[in-house]
Amino acid sequence: MIVTLTANPSHDRTVNLSGPLERGTVQRAESVISQAGGKGVNISRACVAADIPSIAVLPATKEDPFVLELLAAGIDCRPVPHEGDLRVNITITEPDGTTTKLNSPGPQATTRLLDELTEALVRRAGSADWIVLAGSLPPGAPPEWYAELVAALRGAGARVAVDTSDAPLKALVDALSADAASAPHLMKPNGEELASFTGADADRLESDPAAAGRAALALIEHGVESVLVTLGPHGAVLVDKDAAWHATPPPTTVVSTVGAGDSSLFGYLLGDVTGRSPDQRLALAVAYGSAAAGLPGTTIPHPRQVRPELVTVTRLPLTTGR
């Protein structure tokens, strides 16, 4: 069972252009895709496609069209009542794969909402293989809420994965230095996010897997069990206390990168719950991410579209030198 939290869900609208985006002009879209989305929701979608039990926890009313869409898609959605219209995120994709995202903030969170979301997750901690905290926080939520939630879930016996950015990521990393109980079992930054708290150069981390592996050791040294660093076209790096690996993706014609990181995280979790070795989990993560990048909008790949046998995994030297 994989339980996901999408604290700031969104109606995702992807506009596909037939040519490059031209600012200040009128352009006709080739197609528009609309889907109930958010990082945790995307992972729950992947679970359904792969026949892995999942529960999606999120703030919304039971009658919200967002919730009804998820239920119709076979996703076990457990909404926590919350007032306000869910946000709308707009993604513009160009033929060469260039992606522009316009994300709105979402409704204001309240103390009651955060407490009820915490209770909904803690209640399921004992029955879940993983609890995934994914995406941004809604306005009004303190940046340190994920760190507090990790500590509560670990105390309840859950294994926790976190994929977030900006202030919530910084707060989580800051908390690691003070309290090991705030350390997730798995973190999934991309190169830019990893650079944001290690002081490394983002472009170098994206293009140099060994540098990304060394930077990820900062999280391992503060109690995180495993770090999955996604590097876009350069694949991904996995680091734990014993070893580090780099996986190179198969050739992919990029259609949309939206949801590719979520798919990569699911691939890793799928490998874990099915008993695969760390390097095999990494291969599955990169295969899922590559398959997602080749699909339109936030489309989550079906297992039959995923080719881990085409991914090359190599061992990296595990050193602390930077």
Round to whole Å and give the CA distance between 262 and 96. Answer: 21
Residue 71 φ then ψ, to 5°: -60, -40
pLDDT tens digits along 68-106? 999 999 999 999 999 888 899 998 989 887 889 898 888
pLDDT digits (tens, 9 = 90+) for 125-175: 999 999 999 999 999 999 999 999 999 999 999 999 999 999 999 999 999
2-316 CATH fold: UDP-N-acetylmuramoyl-L-alanine:D-glutamate ligase (3.40.1190)
Q: What residues are annotated to the active site?
A: 262
Closest C-alpha to 246, from 163, 322, 312: 312
Domain segments of the chain as ranges: 2-316
Banded pLDDT at 321 (limits 50, 70, 90): very low
CA–CA gap between residue 114 and residue 112 (Å, rounded): 6
If we measure between CA atoms, which residue out of 184, 204, 177 comes closest to residue 192?
A: 204
Structure tokens at 53: 């039990």
Confidence (pTM): 0.91
Q: pLDDT tens for residues 216-235? A: 999 999 999 999 999 999 99
Q: What percent of the chain is predicted at pLDDT more than 70?
A: 99
